[in-house]
Structure 1
Amino acid sequence: MGLQNITGLFYPSQTLGGPHIDIEDIITSQNVISRVMHSYLGILVPLGLLAGVICVAILIRNKVKHQTLENLDLHLLALVATDITIVFYSFTSKTRPDYLEVSNLSCGVLSWFFNTSYFFSQYLLVLMILILLILDDSKTSQSHLRYVFLTLTLSIVMSVVNVSLLGTYDNLHNITYCQLDPLNARPEYDFTKFFAGFCVPSLVLLIFVILIIIRAREVEMSEKLQAHGVVLCHVPIMFICRLFYNIMLIRRTGLKINAFYMSPREELVLNIAELAVFSGSCIGLIITLALHKPCRQGLKKSLQFLINKCRGKETSNSVI
């Protein structure tokens, strides 16, 4: 089947321009996105995945050692695992400035998996800030585990609703240029993603953070903030990275509604905005390792153990 796009919006780089597009602009934008992609894959991805794997290993080791997880550790483990999956989804962009050429069905399935992680990370952060606000550490880890599963269930439902609005179900086997948020999605898909995946949770987070700031002078809240500072650091990182992306998502929707063409510069900025979402997950993983006390201490102990092992081998070799 040939390439089709029911929204009438196409990538300039894949259609060899148009009457209003300069080929040199396409070449320039391709060079820029290629360099940005190499920088992301060469720097942020290795650091993010390494930090994520270390965090998961330390948190699971603490679970095995103490037979339980602190509520904060339980939520952070879920958030770290979700950020790792989002980083893995970013490998679908490694072909930039080219795009995956798959069927609408495959692209829709990929979009559903990505959106589940996307919604879950946002909603889970709302849950963590809510628990911090109400100082709810009295309940058992099993109760908090139920909260996490309810959040995951909500994320799956919202992802199903969102993907059902793609509008490509009549052409499931047609080949398309696929992004995690497909270009040929109906405007309804983009609007739902924007409001349910960004606007509503960001507004709720803003309200919760303001309430936390108001209560910061309380002794109990002050102690909580010191222990849960890593959670608050995730809020601006996720907001800034996803704000940029959602602005471009709405810009793309406006082009669809008004039947405008996409310029090479807009294609470039849209691709960079997509990388910003992935970069936010990488930075979040690094922040968790650096600021969460059990992870930071576990890393120090592991490094010290390796150093002692190496020194012991050097001493043995010198004696021999």
Structure 2
Amino acid sequence: MTSHNMSWIQYPNDVSTAVEDVIASQSIIARCMHVYMALCAPVSLVTGLFNLTTFIRSRARLGALDAFLLDLTVTNVLMTFLSLTIVSRPHYLATTKLSCAVLSFLFNLCYFNTQYVQVAMLFVFLLQGSPFCLCMATKGVQRPAAGLVAIWGCALCSSLAVVALLGISKELHSTTQCQLDLLIAWPEYEIVKFSLGFGFSLVLELAFFILLVMRLAWRTTSPQRNTASAHLVVLAVALTTFACRLFYNVILLQRARLKLQRDLGSPRDELLMNLAEIVLFGESCMNSLAILLLHTPCRLALRNIPECLTQMCRRGEAGNSISLS
């Protein structure tokens, strides 16, 4: 970390002499990108927009869990739009460093917000009623708007902190190969992002799960159906987030290690970073599906689609018959 001169760094696929490895790496990256763009991105957008519409229609009856899931839904939709920047892979988006920094800021803002929201949901809904945190959990349920403002504030500060470590304050209008986690960023970028967005949150989640297990061991009565449904969607979101981000953060630290050793890495390293990025984007799709299938209002709205379509068809037929008479 003594030197912040990253002018030496380049993508391995651009400079490697192992032609066969480069071709194989680029082929895999392109195929995975095509699968994501054909399947995950459309599913994520459709389910995310459907969930968002459901929450907006029932905005007068939104509870605490609905507010947190609404925030998560909006973040998932934004993350899906940002993921469209990979459409040119295995090549990278050519843009100015300033534009790339803006994209990186928005990406990290969504990244941190998703992590902090699901940690807050674990705290409030899985530990609700616990003697350790009853007071704070009750406040979180009664004032979800204040909690969301605090979460967005933390996400904004974290995003500004990591973007400040991109190291591109000079020559902002020069062109670069833009990746949302910019390759030429200082190694502190990956380390701080791991610490704020995964490491610290993981410690909190483990503590919450331990307390949850203790609560379940002490509980003598079975939970109510609504409570069990809320617990299920919160657990599904937490596990999906952890599964998708574990691989991403391991590869992120690997890239920081290569930078500290002043090593460009191999085409395989570049392949793994691209795959980790695609897996991270797939998190939005998985979370949107979990909300759609496990959250009661969204699940009921999905079940009512055939009935609504039938009513629309009947109204159309009735209108045609009246006009003909």
The partner residue of 1:47 within 43, 46, 50 is 43
Q: Is the 8 A contact 2:248 2:280 kept in 1?
A: yes
The residue correspondences of 1:161-310 to structure 2 (distance < 5 A) are: 161-217=161-217, 218=219, 222-223=223-224, 224-310=227-313
Q: Say if 1:10 and 1:262, in contact at 8 Å, map to a contact too.
A: no
How much has 1:236 moved relative to structure 2?
A: 1.2
State the alpha-carbon separation in 2 of the partners of residues 216 and 291 from structure 1: 21
**Cα distance in 1, alignment partners of residues 38 and 317 from structure 2:** 33
SS in 2 for 1:134: coil
CA positional deviation for 1:109: 1.4
| CA–CA distance in structure 1, aligned partners of residues 169 and 266 of structure 2 | 28
Distance 1:140 1:108, change over 3 A: closer
1:99 maps to amino acid: Y
Residue matched to 2:10? 10
Letter in 1 for 2:128: I
Within a 5 Å distance, the mapping from 1:70-109 to structure 2 comes to 70-109=63-102
- Secondary structure of 2:111's aligned partner: helix
Question: What is the rounded CA distance, in whole Å, between the counterparts of 1:219 and 1:115 in structure 2?
Answer: 43
Q: Give the unaligned 5+ runs of structure 1.
A: none
1:36 pairs with one of 32, 36, 39? 32
CA change 1:68–1:25 in 2 (3 A) is same
Alignment-derived partner of residue 134 in structure 1: 128
Per the TM alignment, residue 140 of structure 1 is displaced from its structure 2 partner at its CA by: 8.4
Contact in 2 for aligned 1:9/1:262 (Cα 8 Å): no
TM-score (norm 1): 0.90
**1:317, distance to aligned residue in structure 2 (A):** 7.7
Identity of aligned residues (%): 37
Report deviation, 1:22. Answer: 1.1
How far did residue 220 of structure 1 move? 7.3
What is the distance in 2 between the residues matched to 1:174 and 1:289? Answer: 43
Quick check: 1:8–1:256 contact (8 Å CA) kept in 2? no
Q: Could you tell me how far apart the structure 2 residues matched to 1:219 and 1:172 are?
A: 62
Tell me by how many angstroms 1:113 deviates.
1.1
Query: Is contact 1:187-1:253 (8 Å) kept?
Result: yes
Could you tell me how far 1:307 is from its partner in structure 2? Answer: 2.7
Whether the 8 Å contact between 2:117 and 2:151 is mirrored in structure 1 is yes
Q: Equivalents in 2 of 1:232, 1:184: separation in Å?
A: 36
Partners in 1 of 2:255 and 2:7 — Cα distance? 11
2:53 corresponds in structure 1 to: 57
* Runs (5+) with no aligned partner, structure 2: none
Paired residues in the alignment total 309
Equivalent-residue separation in structure 1 for 2:48 and 2:306 (angstroms)? 16
TM-score under structure 2 length normalisation: 0.88
